Amino acid sequence: MSYSAPPETVSFHGLLFDMDGTIIDSTAAVVKHWHTIGAEIGVDPKVILETSHGRRSIDVLKILRPDKANWEYVRNMEGLLPKLYGKDAVEIPGARALLDSLIAANAPWAIVTSGTLPLVTGWLDVLKLPHPEYLVTAESVKNGKPDPACYQLGRDKLQLGSGAEKDVLVLEDSPAGIIAGKAAGCKVIGLVTSHTLEQVVAAEPDWVVRDLESVNMVSCEGGQVTLQISDALVAAAVPK
């Protein structure tokens, strides 16, 4: 397998971005934070980290510490993360440039994340990244990824519904998120930033790229955003 697919130009009516692993990489911060939280609540942090990426904290806690699985605790716990470990997060390459180009063109986009509102806004503020007009967070839906509800809600916020005539692109790094995006009727770009290539490919995204440097906006007109996807994994290697 190699990232050698020729550049491809594709158009969509809107874009839905995951947050961690897609716009930012807060892995180092999350590892430190879960070690602290794990010690506080008496759960092995290694067990937490094995299952937490791409999933809502409340869903992880429902399994490991049901008594802590409430929004008051989760929002407070996640809200501390950017404040305590802000220096441990970095941008995913290409993320800021892509977001800036979408905003400059007034293109429709939203963030759809498994993080809570305090976590998402905290990271955007720390890294001085743009806040979206539309945001779907952990609190927004009853069931988290891989359930498609979050991306269905993202489509609704962009007024793009669930009809096949409205092509929407999801940008994701976790297998759970890729599966959710596909189930919501979206095309999906899978980023190999937090999981192995094999794990990303197994979730069956439409394209696989290293990071967002492979995704560039070409134009935004007539209600459609045209992107160029370059240096993707060769098409034959990605199951459709």
Q: Three-state DSSP class for 86?
A: helix
- Given the residues 18, 25, 59, 211, the one annotated as active site: 18
Residue 1 Cα to chain centre, angstroms:
24
Neighbours of 103 (CB within 10 A): 13
Of 78, 82, 80, 81, nearest to 59 by C-alpha is 78
Which residues are bridge partners to 23 per DSSP?
A: none
- Given the residues 20, 173, 206, 211, the one annotated as active site: 20
- 18 catalytic residue (yes or no): yes
Contact 188/212 with Cβ under 8 angstroms?
A: no
The answer for residues whose C-beta is within 8 angstroms of residue 79's C-beta and 6 or more apart is 116, 118, 119, 122
- 125 catalytic residue (yes or no): no
Strand extents, DSSP E, 31-122: 90-91, 109-112
Q: How far apart are CA 111 and CA 98, in angstroms?
A: 13
| Residues with a known catalytic role | 18, 20
